[in-house]
Structure 1
């Protein structure tokens, strides 16, 4: 890291912040007007600049620029709950995952990395950033900066392995369940249409005759059954 000039580090930081912003945009994706990662509160963007919720709640250092921006997840409790949709009487599908479970660690790691490259610490050292973090003092803090950058890269790797890749698997599973439900619905529609077609194409005179014959047979069977049940010992003497 010492071999990189301040200009090079600033350029790297800018690229990292662009990736962070892209990640935020992905987390705020919509489908048919609903936020995919919004949990039950899918009318509200999952992520917003902290200043949206509390004015001047970006990072204290610096006071402006991309390193000042702090992205936070929607504080509404409903945003923490997954949305379920009932496809049929027996099939329900989870249609979204709260964004913080998928993106929080990645966004925070990118934010930490961008700030470290920009020359700023991020506090606390672990967990969600609270908006504080003093600038490094160079050249004395080069080693600390390098260590922080390395830790941020490890955090990114962990976020990919623990949060993002499993969500990809879950989404694939949801798609399979939706496809299964769609197949069942199509089968039900086809079967229903076949029954409807048979009803519509039935010869009513023939159906009436068959019903009358069946009714006569049923009455005869009931009569025989009644006589059998009414037999007594005298009938066998």
Structure 2
């Protein structure tokens, strides 16, 4: 086959263009830190990257969900702690009032304190966090204890997905804490009436102490159950943290470049390009003008 000067020139130009393309590729990698800048560069890497990124986004969303569950549980636990303290104080007053040594005026003073503690418990039952009543189930826009003192707790559960196929109950049923037959507010009202000397109530104060003990035990049991769920939430958070690290590492291994390797390849390609330019300048046949110099 006859090799012409035109063939040599065209081959040299084509190889120089390929060399330029490779240098451009390595420079793009160093600028972006990624192996590819468009899916057509490597469809396999691009498709895997989409899958890894989707998995990472899911993990990050679950982490946001766990933060929401934490918000519910932490506020609920704090509210139950205050409710326990209030009921224990009412019980202390009931024990004091049961010995019969207090005067009528002192019992009235006790009654006033108990009424204030009841109002405090109503505020706790109506705890509102981020415009959500946390003790009223899914009816988070409605206060369970209204201005007239009517008590209606929605028993539905608030469940939030914290990982694939796993949901956690975020709330505590207000009826388990403040409800019962009678509910804790009725118990306190009866106790207050006894302190005020209401003769229509035949029961003595010892009966109120027993009912208050039941109310305190209800709160303790609810806090214990809530604590168990908080421990499980912590385990889920730890697992999500590990999944996030693994997904990030896998995505990095798939997409990110090795800077040392990319710099070495760029320097090598630059040397090859200069050599090709030098060789090409000798291959191109001199023209008549070169001889007339």
Fold match, TM over 0.5? yes
- Matched with 2:167 is 92
Q: Please, which of 150, 156, 165 is the counterpart of residue 212 of structure 2?
A: 156
CA shift for structure 1 position 32: 2.1
- Matched with 2:27 is none
Larger radius of gyration: 2
Matches of 1:72 and 1:101 in 2, distance apart? 16
Matches of 1:148 and 1:24 in 2, distance apart? 25
Matched, 1:168 2:223: yes
Matched, 1:181 2:236: yes
Q: Which runs of 5+ in 2 are unaligned?
A: 1-97, 262-293
CA shift for structure 1 position 12: 0.9
- Answer 1 or 2: which has greater helix percent: 2
- Structure number with the bigger relative contact order (C-alpha 8 A, sep ≥ 6) is 2
Q: Please, which of 36, 43, 46 is the counterpart of residue 144 of structure 2?
A: 46
- Matched with 1:194 is 249
CA shift for structure 1 position 202: 4.8
* Aligned positions, number: 158
Alpha-carbon contact 2:138-2:156 (below 8 Å) kept: yes
Q: Please, which of 117, 130, 133 is the counterpart of residue 32 of structure 1?
A: 130
TM-score for the superposition, normalised by structure 1: 0.60
What are the superposed Cα offsets for residues 73-123 of structure 1, whole Å, 9 maximum, x if unpaired?
236xxx121211111123211111221221123322212111221233xxx
Q: Secondary structure at the match of 1:92?
A: strand
What are the superposed Cα offsets for residues 142-200 of structure 1, whole Å, 9 maximum, x if unpaired?
xx4xx432211110011212x11111101111211221221222122111100111012
Q: Secondary structure at the match of 1:48?
A: coil
Q: Please, which of 76, 95, 103 is the counterpart of residue 178 of structure 2?
A: 103
Q: Please, which of 104, 108, 116 is the counterpart of residue 18 of structure 1?
A: 116
Q: Secondary structure at the match of 1:73?
A: coil
